[in-house]
Chains A and B, each alone.
Chain A
Amino acid sequence: MALERSDVEKIAHLASLGLNDADLPQTTAALNRILGLVDQMQAVNTDGIEPLAHPLEASQRLRADVVTERNHREAYQSIAPAVENGLYLVPKVID
């Protein structure tokens, strides 16, 4: 099933990506080619095969529930897009 332009608009919305209208036909074509390649998977018999998420099948390690992070405020202030008087500035669109 090939993606339509409207499908790509929906996927872009899910991914919070603003696409240019002019690029949509090209993007739709590229995604359809990639999904065509990916669809070759459907011919593989995987009956009874368990999915593999971690190559060594390790599970997540746990650690003691104690504070290990130090305060990096200065470093974070220095890389923020905009700061003023030690505060982080964000556009007014955020309540």
Chain B
Amino acid sequence: MHQLTLAEIARGLADKKFSSEELTKTLLARIAALDPKVNSFISLTEELALSQAKAADARRANGENGALLGAPIAHKDLFCTQGIRTSCGSKMLDNFKAPYDATVVSRLAAAGAVTLGKTNMDEFAMGSANESSYYGAVKNPWNLEHVPGGSSGGSAAAVAARFLPAATATDTGGSIRQPAAFTNLTGLKPTYGRVSRWGMIAYASSLDQGGPLARTAEDCAILLQGMAGFDKQDSTSIDEPVPDYSASLNTSLKGLRIGVPKEYFSAGLDPRIAELVHNSIKELEKLGAVIKEISLPNNQHAIPAYYVIAPAEASSNLSRFDGVRFGYRCENPKDLTDLYKRSRGEGFGAEVQRRIMVGAYALSAGYYDAYYLKAQKIRRLIKNDFMAAFEEVDVILGPTTPNPAWKIGAKTGDPIAEYLEDLYTITANLAGLPGLSMPAGFVDGLPVGVQLLAPYFQEGRLLNVAHQYQLNTDWHTRTPTGF
């Protein structure tokens, strides 16, 4: 039962082959037995899950139907869940029970999804390896000595380990797509503004975007359908109609113009990954796509610009954690400054502190123009590159990551080494474009992802291309040994 996808679960529930309650109990037992090896959950919500499952079964008994009605999911632990710990992977919020539900959480609950728990993540979503969590590193189910990617590593590892069919995640510089690539999943970062950020604890507000992680493009379409849409509570939510993502999955790829940026195949890319990317291109050509070489000349400037913009926004966003109103408070403060400094010094981990300080420096008097404004100008150059490319092609294809998942601890203490791994994913966040990673093969037994990027609001096109690819390949069906 744990091998079922969201689409298969919806059919099984509609055909009364099993109930949501049975499925939920099976998966909760599986998590209890196997998650100690993976550490993908921070909190389990058994009681809530069982009551939601029973309610979904009752709604189905009353003749209701729906792709998510009774479907088990989990939320990355930065989506606020009312009355349930929402830790953001941080000691700072270890004692924080959110007083309300994020829009994503309430929409999925209304659609009948069953929340099994809250998944582990890099602290405040700052990381690419899920090693910076206060709750310990998450292990990659494909090789428990390797990282699952980050920052949505708990969501990715839980889905890869077949603990559940899909989970919510967020992506600020690649945090959905990179863990998807590292764990053989399909993950989609939507257009900036497509999914509400209300109740999603902010890291870098102009880059953060929620999206689905699942095994198939078909399932990502189902979960995204439940997450997407205008929300007046989020001032950056975009009021655009949400198309039927499942309806466009079967569109033919005949004549689809796929751009392959020449800059993606530079020295930093593992040649074995390059070969798998080329194999995926050949597969898509067989399905009727036309390949064209393109150029994104400012691609290499994305990482330096990102490491100004994201920390600057983070330093501002995280100033709300002061030890006074909620969250961690230090013992016996001697004055107000001591209360602030020790609560933040003791409550935040090393990487979060580094990014807050980089941001505070970049925004400080005398440095704003040289850092923040300069980075925003580069941001426009990167967007302009994409706009020019999309004059010629419908989607852009390349590797999701330059290397497969590294060993846990291999990059500890060397933040730059980890930052450079986000080379291919960061540009979509800076430009606000939708991006998807899909399984495309293995290197040394570790999964490899191919990334697809599309113009604004073309999530349906990305899901369509990935679904057609998955109908003709079986990489996404492979299960890690032991799970």
Contact = CB atoms under 8 A, between A and B. Distances in A.
B369 to A, nearest CB: 10
Nearest to A34: B358
Contacts of B353: 17, 19, 27
Contacts of A17: 341, 344-345, 348, 353, 356-357
Chain A to chain B: the 8 pairs with minimum beta-carbon distance, closest first: A55-B432, A18-B345, A51-B376, A18-B341, A75-B99, A46-B377, A52-B380, A15-B360
B325 to A, nearest CB: 7
A75 to B, nearest CB: 3
Interface in B60-113: 82-83, 95-100
Contacts of B324: 90, 94
B292 interface: no
Contacts of B348: 17
B293 interface: no
B330 to A, nearest CB: 8
Interface in A58-92: 58, 60-61, 63, 72, 75-76, 78-82, 90-91
B344 A52 contact: no
A22 interface: no
A2 interface: no
A42 to B, nearest CB: 7
B238 A58 contact: yes
B346 A55 contact: no
Contacts of B371: 38, 41
Interface stretch (B31-39, B296-304, B466-474): B296-304
A68 B388 CA distance: 43
A60 B235 contact: yes
A39 interface: yes
B456 A53 contact: no
B95 to A, nearest CB: 7
Nearest to B327: A81
A22 to B, nearest CB: 12
Contact of A14 (B298, B346, B364, B431): B364
A31 B357 contact: yes
Contacts of A46: 374, 377-378, 381
Interface residues of A, number: 50
Nearest to B336: A93
B346 A34 contact: no
The prevalent SS among residues of B at the interface is: helix
Given A37-B303, A38-B307, A93 B378 contact: no
A38 B358 contact: yes
B126 interface: no
B276 interface: no
Contact of B341 (A16, A38, A58): A16
Contact of B415 (A30, A52, A58, A60): A30
Nearest to B191: A56
Given A17-B345, A33-B416, A91-B339, A78 B97 contact: yes
Nearest to A60: B235
B105 to A, nearest CB: 15
Nearest to A88: B325
Given A37-B307, A52-B380, 12 more contacts: A16-B322, A34-B419, A35-B361, A37-B419, A41-B301, A44-B378, A53-B376, A55-B206, A56-B191, A61-B232, A75-B100, A81-B329
B326 A37 contact: no
Contacts of B301: 40-41, 44
